[in-house]
Chains A and B, each alone.
Chain A
């Protein structure tokens, strides 16, 4: 018989999970950044609840958040460092890593070792890792899985505004007169944004998505475009805005450059052409453009439908342009909003040292390098003069043997990187693969050295969410076995390298890193200098820029002054390019990929949470009923998918009219039915983000096992 007892915070709950203590923290899954309370009983995480006081989610959580305490004490946690599969001490593991990397760097030069990190660490750890990788190890090549996720948004913001940094806030969704969601299935992927969109009943909601997603059902206008016709659509919408006199001329003249070229460029995008190429009714496109143009305030938000493209960066600039020419930047309800993926992708963008130096400083700017060297008290010549290889180029370097040592932190490339076959051949060639993670994964299975890390719930720091809100993350329980926080691992590596004090002067814990990062960010767009951990505790999340004496800023560019040399936002002309892996007689279906609400990334965590795993235990492929009939398959049948790069067998068929004939969809979370055996390894030339969403495949029925 279950005993229920009252809990002052949660209400009535089961005795066995009624916590001794609730620890205030921030969800560790997506970048929405929901505040939550993590319940601890007898040293175990036993319950969670949404933080009713948190401005992001006001006490509500998605199913992943609601079961997040179940990710901690599970099978498959890494509990001891290993060397070639055998348990060793921390000293031995880090010693062999440092000796190995140093030997490679000595024998093969500074290009021979690289780091691949993540969007999952706390900002303090990203900041520490950046210093360690670039200064301590002296590496030229360091990037993160954020390049698989929002690199195009970063690059697009930089091109349009002169800097990264999402200008808007979630509250824009509450008040916008028009919300345009492009390639953003928030109902599945950012569920706690959905109530804001639904709750804003006065707004016109436009969803641009090739599938009839759960999010499409929230729309007043759903534009079910053919795959990768978003550029044509956006050019067409811009032309309608210009033709209809819906351009905010005053804003354009005062704050942008390139309008004449843009107007001339889009002149060729007649409504008839756009409708035909997008496969959407002309009237629907016109209605969407007019709704956006006539709105007092309009927000254009996007996620992976835009970013996961060889033209992702350019598409982002078009969304920025759409907002700029209608004056929808820097005011309430109006912004071009990249809804980021990971809980702290923003933290690594701002404080890390991958695509840019900490504080959005440019590697190729002598002034930025000198400033940072001064702040760090390191010789400026120790700082690289270029960002180095981005993620796919690191993999290329591994494949061709240039890179011989790789340190992978909290990411799982065999499942998440496109063209898995080639990736696995590359990783198998490494002289030294060090993997630092909280869990056994397909990546740790390949590692020479495994470093067991603490995970969410076991360590302290901050996350920055998609609206630039910095919130505290807290250790509630101790990590298992010998596992320790990534922060402590980085300090230990610094120690082994003999540079701990030089890198981390007087640091005792992550709060020291936060203080230093605050000083380093002072005066930059992403200014954290007014924040302290105590202040974050008091405010429950603060949006940067935050200078001392303030409590942060809800949005950027309110003055219309941008980070470009001339202070004007740049309007770019963008033309669509054909799909590289186009369908053919042999590969007649265009494969799209994406997510489902029950799972997170490569299921490292959610695959271990019974209630989530039970809801979506394996991958599937969505097929239009007409295609299913043609293939002679029915719902629940198993099929084989073949692309020019690989095969996936035994995929259950879901027959659904939510997908266009000729297009198919698979979720990307599954190691077992890994869609990335099929996807093309083609990348945005600017952001280096993969083009996950269009790969040609052949489908054949399989006899039921």
Chain B
């Protein structure tokens, strides 16, 4: 297998024809793994060492001495369907006429949602500036008719820059696929791969062993759990009110509790942002970003909950519930990103609504004046909470089966993290659900307005809360995203 100097060479930057954009090319035959492109990129763009825009991975297959090894130098693919852009709540991304996907730092709030959306892990979080940054194809050089630094630096001409006919690439983009890369179709990556001859299946990456837990995102744990708790509580309150199960006079506590939970959630979510002062920008992209929609809907929910808690008008309550349901749906929906296959499942929104069901009725139970609510309605609250917890168990069991059976790195990686590395916590999560169910059933043995039942339900609240907290932590920590094959010492996270 002879490596050959690619015919791509360093391109003359010809002006684009109509319907064309610039794209990178990468010739896996020619790359000798010298990393010059990475250093040149860092020098050109002044990126910190752990926030590289271009990275070289290493691939290997076969057994000695018929071993094959290749290198994979990748930066941004300047996709036709850039999910960094479509997901960005602040419209910080722009796809230029020449195809470059640029990130405008002044518009970025540092929510890092683009990092979840990009299957190539291209956007990186700049810990100093508290916003993301990414490859702009050396736009200032392109504008001056010069090649990007990586293209300029490659000693073997393995990296090139060329024009691509956009419509043609939409029709046939098979040349964008390659070993160590996510499927090109997710975002319509434009980078053209020139691959070595022969069978390239079964190539392993030098960083395959490195399946690391993701950040738990504590502010998001708080945001999601508390919004769901809030929705569950408001919904319970509104249902009781509409059913005439309780008079307005006994609803106030529950409504206030619901609003408080939602308000704390929104406050906590600000801590997730690198630039919380710019948080309002996150409302800009309601048209395509589920994150913008989540922010908008939860803001509406919070306002309506406040109004409802103050006035206890059933109409406001219904509106609050509608906004809350939509918000929790948007909240779940934003995790359905193809770049994170284990999240990208019906399980995510179902689990979010299950949390609302498991927690809301219990909070309502304690915030209501129980002496004036009919026993039957109290039973309904407990049953609803039990069903919510049961649904969570079903989701978890399904997740465990799916990831255990998975054949790709993303599912196998989650199986490793969820069932092996954090297996004790996963079992703890299930055990807490079981205990919660027992306590809920036990409470039903007594009159629900009694102190004994209250005691058991109080214990159930603690157990449910612990289970939900643990479950949500596992949700964030054990997801394994698509990524580009990395080197032995370095992955993209």
Residues of A within 8 A of B (CB): 1-2, 4, 6, 11-14, 16-17, 47, 57, 60-63, 66-67, 187-188, 191-192, 194-195, 198-199, 201, 205, 212, 214-215, 217-220, 222, 224, 280, 597-598, 610-618, 620, 624-625, 634-636, 654-661
Q: Assess whether B3 is in contact with A66, with CB atoms less than 8 Å apart.
A: no
Given A47-B43, A218-B3, A617-B489: A191 in contact with B67 (beta carbons within 8 A): no
Measured CA separation A658–B143 after assembly (Å): 43
User: How distant is the Cα of A636 from the Cα of B210 in the complex, in angstroms?
Assistant: 7
B3-31 at interface with A (beta carbon < 8 Å): 3-5, 30
Contact between A62 and B155, CB atoms less than 8 A apart: yes
How far is the CB of B43 from the nearest CB of chain A, in Å? 7
Q: Residue B46 contacts which of A14, A618, A620, A656 (CB distance < 8 angstroms)?
A: A14
Chain A residues near B65: list those with CB within 8 A.
Answer: 212, 222, 224, 280, 660
Q: For the complex, is B105 an interface residue (Cβ under 8 Å from A)?
A: yes
Q: Is the CB of A191 within 8 A of B36?
A: yes
- A217 and B1 contact, Cβ closer than 8 Å, known pairs A63-B34, A657-B60, A658-B60: yes
**Known contacts A12-B141, A62-B34: A220-B46 contact under CB 8 Å:** no
Q: Name B70's contact: one of A11, A217, A659 (CB within 8 Å).
A: A217
Given contacts A2-B45, A656-B60, contact A198 B4 (CB under 8 A): yes
Q: Which among A187, A612, A613 has the highest number of chain B CB atoms within 10 Å?
A: A187
Question: In the complex the two chains form, is B206's CB within 8 Å of A194's CB?
Answer: no
In the assembled complex, the CB of A504 is this many whole angstroms from the nearest CB of chain B, namely 40
State whether B62 touches A657 (Cβ < 8 A): yes
Q: How far is the CA of A472 from the CA of B150 in the complex (A)?
A: 27
CA distance A611 to B64 in the complex (A): 32
Q: Is the beta-carbon distance between A659 and B155 smaller than 8 angstroms? A: no
A194 near B155: Cβ-Cβ < 8 Å: yes
Assess whether B487 is interfacial by the CB under 8 Å rule.
Answer: yes
- Against A, the Cβ 8 Å flags (1 = close, 0 = not) of B93-111 are 0000000000001100000
For residue B12, give the distance in angstroms from its CB to the closest CB of chain A. 14
Q: In angstroms, how far is the closest chain B Cβ from the Cβ of A338?
A: 21
Bound Cα distance from A202 to B154, whole angstroms: 22
Taking the closest CB of chain A, its distance from the CB of B339, in whole angstroms, is 24
Given contacts A6-B144, A194-B34, A661-B64, 8 further A-B contacts (CB under 8 A): A17-B46, A60-B153, A61-B36, A62-B34, A63-B34, A66-B36, A187-B34, A659-B64
Give Cα A615 to B210, complex, Å. Answer: 15
Q: Are A614 and B49 in contact (CB under 8 A)?
A: yes
Taking the complex as formed, is B33 at the interface, i.e. its CB lies under 8 A from any CB of chain A? yes
Q: CB-CB < 8 A to A194: which residues of B?
A: 32, 34, 155-156
Query: Which residues of chain A have C-beta atoms less than 8 A from B138's C-beta?
Result: 12
Q: A191-B155, A661-B64 are in contact. Are A219 and B488 (CB under 8 A)?
A: no
Contacts of A597 in B (CB 8 A): 33-35
Q: Which residue of A lies closest to B55 (CB)?
A: A615
How far is A222 from B32 in the complex, measured between Cα atoms in Å? 16
A sample of 6 inter-chain contacts (CB < 8 A) reads: A60-B153, A63-B36, A192-B155, A195-B156, A217-B1, A656-B67
Q: Which of B49, B152, B488 contacts A610 (CB 8 A)?
A: B49
For residue B208, which residues in chain A have a CB less than 8 angstroms away from its CB?
Answer: 635
What's the Cα separation between A352 and B33 when bound, in Å?
A: 36
B69 at the interface (CB under 8 A from A): yes
B488, A620: Cβ atoms closer than 8 Å: yes
Asked whether any CB of chain A lies closer than 8 Å to the CB of B44, the reply is yes
Cα A57 to Cα B40 in complex, Å, equals: 16
Distance in angstroms between the alpha carbons of A192 and B34 in the assembled complex: 9
Q: Is the CB of A657 within 8 A of B156?
A: no
Mask: chain B, 56-74; 1 = CB below 8 Å from A; 0 = not: 0000101111011111000
A-B pairs, 9 with minimum CB distance: A635-B209, A224-B65, A4-B140, A614-B49, A187-B32, A63-B39, A60-B155, A212-B67, A66-B39
In the complex, residue of chain B having the shortest beta-carbon distance to the beta carbon of A614:
B49
Neighbouring B residues of A661 by C-beta, 8 Å? 64
Chain B interface bracket (under 10, 10 to 19, 20 to 34, 35 or more): 35 or more
List residues of chain A with CB within 8 A of the CB of B141: 4, 11-12
B406 → chain A, closest Cβ, in Å?
19
Q: Please state if B209 and A636 are interface contacts (CB–CB under 8 Å).
A: yes
* Contact of A615 with B490 at beta-carbon distance under 8 Å, contacts A12-B141, A187-B34, A198-B5 already known: yes
B42 interface hit (Cβ, 8 Å): yes
Q: Which residue from chain B places its CB closest to the CB of A34 in the assembled complex?
A: B155
B144 pairs with A11, CB closer than 8 A:
yes
Tell yes or no: B146 within 8 A of A by CB.
yes
Contact of A201 with B64 in the complex, beta carbons under 8 Å: no
B155 x A611 contact (CB < 8 A): no
Residues of B within 8 A of A (CB): 1-5, 30, 32-36, 38-40, 42-46, 49-50, 60, 62-65, 67-71, 105-106, 138, 140-141, 143-144, 146, 152-157, 206, 208-210, 487-490
- Rounded to whole angstroms, the CA-CA distance of A658 and B44 in the bound complex is 34
A11 adjacent to B69 (CB under 8 Å): no
CB distance from A670 to the nearest CB of B (A): 12
CB pair A198 B68 closer than 8 Å: no
Closest to A659 in B: B64
Given contacts A2-B46, A217-B1, contact A198 B60 (CB under 8 A): no
Choose among A63, A192, A218, A220 the residue that contacts B38 (Cβ–Cβ < 8 A): A63
Let me know if B67 and A658 touch, CB within 8 A. Answer: yes
Indicate if the CB atoms of B43 and A224 lie closer than 8 Å: no
Docked CA distance A131–B373 (Å): 105
Among A201, A215, A658: residue with most chain B CB under 10 A: A658
Cβ of A221 to closest chain B Cβ, rounded Å: 10
User: A11-B141, A205-B2 known; A654 and B488 CB under 8 Å?
Assistant: yes
Q: Which residues of A contact B143 (CB under 8 A)?
A: 12
A618 — which chain B residues lie within 8 A by C-beta?
489
Give bound CA distance, A513 to B490, whole Å. 47
Report yes or no: B39 in contact with A660, Cβ–Cβ below 8 A.
no
Given contacts A62-B34, A62-B36, A194-B155, contact A660 B64 (CB under 8 A): yes
Max chain B C-beta neighbours (<10 A), residue from A12, A612, A613, A614 = A12
Distance in angstroms from A630 CB to nearest chain B CB is 15
- Beyond A12-B146, A62-B155, A66-B40, whether A201 also contacts B5 by CB under 8 A is yes
Specify which chain A residues have a CB less than 8 angstroms from the CB of B209 in the assembled complex.
634-636, 655
Task: Give the residues in chain A near B157, CB-CB below 8 Å.
Answer: 195
Q: Closest approach, in angstroms, between the C-beta of A653 and any C-beta of chain B?
A: 9
Assess whether A61 is in contact with B62, with CB atoms less than 8 Å apart: no
Q: Which B residues lie within 8 Å of A14 (CB)?
A: 44-46
Given contacts A13-B44, A67-B39, contact A217 B140 (CB under 8 A): no
Residue among A218, A654, A657 making CB contact with B63, cutoff 8 Å: A657
| A614-B490 contact given A1-B105, A60-B155, A66-B43, CB 8 Å threshold | yes
Contact of B2 among A4, A214, A219, A617 (CB under 8 A): A219
> What distance in Å separates the Cβ of A603 from its nearest Cβ neighbour in chain B?
14
Residues of B within 8 Å of A11, CB to CB, are: 141, 144, 146, 152
- State the CA gap A617–B490 with chains docked (Å): 10
User: Contacts A205-B2, A219-B2, A624-B64 given: A191-B32 contact, CB under 8 Å?
Assistant: yes
Residues of A within 8 A of B4 (CB): 198, 201
Complex alpha-carbon distance, A283 and B487, angstroms: 35
CA distance A634 to B204 in the complex (A): 14
**Residues B64 and A657 in contact, CB atoms below 8 Å apart:** yes
Output the least CB separation between B447 and chain A (Å). Answer: 54
Measured between alpha carbons, how far is A611 from B53 in the docked complex, in Å?
12
Q: Which of B106, B152, B489 gathers the greatest number of chain A CB atoms within 10 Å?
A: B489
Check A614–B50 contact: CB distance below 8 A.
Answer: yes
Find out whether the CB atom of A66 lies under 8 angstroms from the CB atom of B5.
no
Chain A residue numbers with a CB within 8 Å of B140 are 4, 12
Cα A42 to Cα B252 in complex, Å, equals 69
- The docked-state distance in angstroms from the alpha carbon of A361 to that of B150 is 47
A195 to B155, CA, bound (A): 6
Least CB distance, B319 to chain A, in whole angstroms: 43
In the complex, residue of chain B having the shortest beta-carbon distance to the beta carbon of A280 = B65
Q: Determine the distance from Cα of A287 to Cα of B201 in the docked complex, in whole angstroms.
A: 29
Residues of chain B within 8 A (CB-CB) of A187 are: 32-34
- A218 is contacted by which of B2, B35, B152 (Cβ under 8 Å)? B2
Min CB gap B416→A, angstroms = 11
